Structure 1
Amino acid sequence: MIKLIVGLGNPGRQYEKTRHNAGFLFLDALASKFSCDWVSESRFQGMLSGCNASAGMVMLLKPETFMNRSGQSVGKIVRYYKLMPEEILVVHDELDFDAGIIKLKNGGGHAGHNGLKDIIAHLGSREFYRLRIGVGRPVAGKAVADYVLTSPSKDEWELINSAIDSGVACIDRLVAGDMATVMNKLHS
């Protein structure tokens, strides 16, 4: 059962509509579906919301640290609520998938994603779930940092939003821990 869903992104208006904020955008869509309000929680260095999915209450967290320090916020809330890594779902942008692709996995490395790298360091574990939202790769010669910190084209936005909608539609099964069903649905 998932008790905490973390969306990765960067705080600030200049980053709101960037590829790197796919995790924040997912949580905003989820909070909208459940009519949840966000509250700034300084003790967790993040924006927190609680949503009542059919499988039970789930906390939503948007770290207010920058991406490469996401683990500070995640570590604090995990220790406070005594959560196990397998009760955590981290939603993030994924360069290895084209825009519009969304996939679920458990464990693994960080693949160069600084937000995941910091979370792994603060949790001392890689065994949390990840919901990866494809944003595609930059064209040859364009720096990855510049690419993820810019807004996608209108067509890419539509694909990314479609992927987010697909993930949100699976939220009750995700919270319930029915990961095989979610993987079958998202990966087909």
Structure 2
Amino acid sequence: MNRVEKFQLSQLLGQYLSLEEFCTCTQTYQKYVDRIDPYPKNLEETIPALEALCQHILAPVIAHFGRERFQLTYGFCSKDLKRFLSQKDPETGIKNGRVDPSRDQHMAHEKNRNGKYYCDRLGAACDFRIVGMESDRLVEWILEQRLPFDSLYYYGSDRPIHISYGSQHKRDIWTFTGRGVPTRKGIERWLEQVEPRF
């Protein structure tokens, strides 16, 4: 029995989400299910980081909007999943997904073969949407509730948001140009709601 089995895949990371859900929700995993190990290896550090994300960010969201409307689209990123996300689909030639492990916190506290964290920012991240709600309204609700996020990425009103929880609680908000370049243009109203950092 490996360490993930000992943790039990059905065990909840918080009130609502299991480790299995958090690790197997991506379309890329579903496409290559027999070739990807989606689970963390550094359980001692990664599981508490995922639990903190669920407790401080996702539990309040789900409690307010309802479990049936909450749709997790990208949770934890394992080393195997990272590899497949960065590859192109052999049939379509389109990249499976976007991945930026050094910054996006989806790999939580996982370490590379040299014992270094993939993401020095630590913490954990996920992407989700609320079914039937535009994502700009979701961002506004998160800001009104003063949730202690680290980074929030807004990709458009009809797309999921990315949110992370980590010890820095930077409350950084970014959106992206049509070419995928990070910008703060167009989200000034949200930036005004975020407390200044000292």
Class of the TM-score when normalised by the shorter of the 2 chains? under 0.3
Which structure carries more relative contact order (alpha carbon 8 Å, separation 6+)?
A: 1
* TM-score in terms of structure 2 length: 0.27
Higher strand share: 1
Larger Cα Rg: Structure 1 or Structure 2?
Answer: 2
* TM-score in terms of structure 1 length: 0.28
